[in-house]
Amino acid sequence: MFSRISYALRETWASFRRNLTLTAAAILTSAVSLLLVGTTFLIQRAFENLLVQWRGDVEMIVFVRSDASAEQIGLIDSVLRSSPTIIDVNKLLYLNKTESYEEAKRIFVGDPVTLSLLTPESIPTQFKVVPLSDDPQLVRSLSDQYRTLPGVEAVALAEDEFQVISTLSNFIRVVTLVMSLVLLAVAVGLIWNTIRTAMFARRREIEVMKLVGATNWFIRVPFMLEGLLQGLLGGVVSCGGLWALNSAWTNGVAGFKPGTGISSLVVPSSYLTSVMFILLGIGAVVGAVGSAIAATRFLDV
């Protein structure tokens, strides 16, 4: 058993060195495509921060002054519930101070200055409103009405604030996803080609191996390991790239004026780490698939 494993590892390494140029090309292509996959993940997550307060079809937020009395809050609530034909009262949601503060921590994740101005005591509470009607004019006229209620600090409409960003984020997500899928397919193809070339270079050896009774798996495994290694190395390179990209972005964003929204577009480092593991996983799969196809297809030499 040990001799088989050491054989496979030795052959993998030898073949790896023999085909350095093609190998480098395969690794770099998988790295670039994986980097794009990783960037897609990060962009999506960053936009989610920005849009977190509008999750679940929320179109309007009624902010309530932090010093509003319980009666005032009750009044606002009953006014909101008085238009059940326009507002989906079942989805009407009130966030108290603690909940609002938790949400603010995500919105201002990259903007510690603004966050430090807020405390769980001084933060406005909020009603999240999901309208039933598709008519923006109707919702807008309601918002004008709510603004005048006692205790209401402000009324925000999704249309004004984040409709554009939401559309933009969907567009970017689709584009990067499609591009990374295409590039991943290219990476599989390149690894396939590298392994095919490696097998062709050693067709004489493979012929002898088959004649003396080596099993197909014995012949295949070093080639499959080689492809796996290429995919994995591509994953490692892409992780480095993603880390550098994310650091540069996070540092750049910190320089923006607080409260512009851009500063929400950062991700926590724990999320970055899990994306990196995903990239390594995808890299390994890409390498294994490419080489497995080649190693099965070209064994009959």
Partner 1 sequence: MPCAGKLVAMIRLENVTKIYGSETVAVRDASFDIPKSQFVFLVGPSGSGKSTLLRLINRQEQPERGDVWVAGRNINDLPASRVPFLRRSMGNVFQDYKLLLNKTVFENVAFSLEVIGKPRHVIERQVPAVLDLVGLADKHGRFPEQLSGGEQQRVSIARAFVNRPLILLADEPTGNLDPTTSEGIMSLLDRINETGTTVVMATHDHRVVNSMRRRVIQMDHGVIVRDQERGVYE
Rounded alpha-carbon distances, angstroms, from residue 231 to 151, 185, 188:
59, 12, 9
- Considering the rule CB under 8 A, would residue 299 count as an interface residue with partner 1? no
- Considering the rule CB under 8 A, would residue 251 count as an interface residue with partner 1? no
- Considering the rule CB under 8 A, would residue 203 count as an interface residue with partner 1? no
User: Which residues within the stretch 216-235 sit at the binding site for partner 1 (CB under 8 A)?
Assistant: 216, 218-219
Q: Nearest Cα to 276, choosing from 248, 245, 243? A: 243
Which two tokens mark 101?
Answer: 């503060």
- Considering the rule CB under 8 A, would residue 119 count as an interface residue with partner 1? no
- Considering the rule CB under 8 A, would residue 212 count as an interface residue with partner 1? yes
In DSSP terms, which residues pair with 60 in a beta bridge? 129, 157
* Alpha carbon distance 190, 184 (integer Å): 10
- Considering the rule CB under 8 A, would residue 17 count as an interface residue with partner 1? no
Which secondary structure element, helix H or strand E, spans residue 279, and what is its range?
helix 269-297
- Considering the rule CB under 8 A, would residue 208 count as an interface residue with partner 1? yes
| 3-state helix vs strand vs coil in the chain, percent to 5 | 75, 5, 20
Give the CA dihedral 281, 287, 288, 294, nearest 10 degrees.
170
- Considering the rule CB under 8 A, would residue 89 count as an interface residue with partner 1? no
Q: Which is nearer to partner 1, 10 or 147 (CB)?
A: 10
Give the CA dihedral 147, 153, 157, 160, nearest 10 degrees.
110
Q: Binding string, 40-79, against partner 1, x = CB under 8 A?
A: ----------------------------------------
- Considering the rule CB under 8 A, would residue 207 count as an interface residue with partner 1? yes
In DSSP terms, which residues pair with 63 in a beta bridge? 126, 154
Q: Which is nearer to partner 1, 70 or 212 (CB)?
A: 212
Q: Which is nearer to partner 1, 16 or 249 (CB)?
A: 16
Select from 28, 177, 214, 262 the one that contacts partner 1 (CB under 8 A).
Answer: 214
Select from 17, 70, 137, 211 the one that contacts partner 1 (CB under 8 A).
Answer: 211
Which two tokens mark 35?
Answer: 């980097």
Binding residues (CB under 8 A) for partner 1: these are 2-4, 7, 204-205, 207-216, 218-219
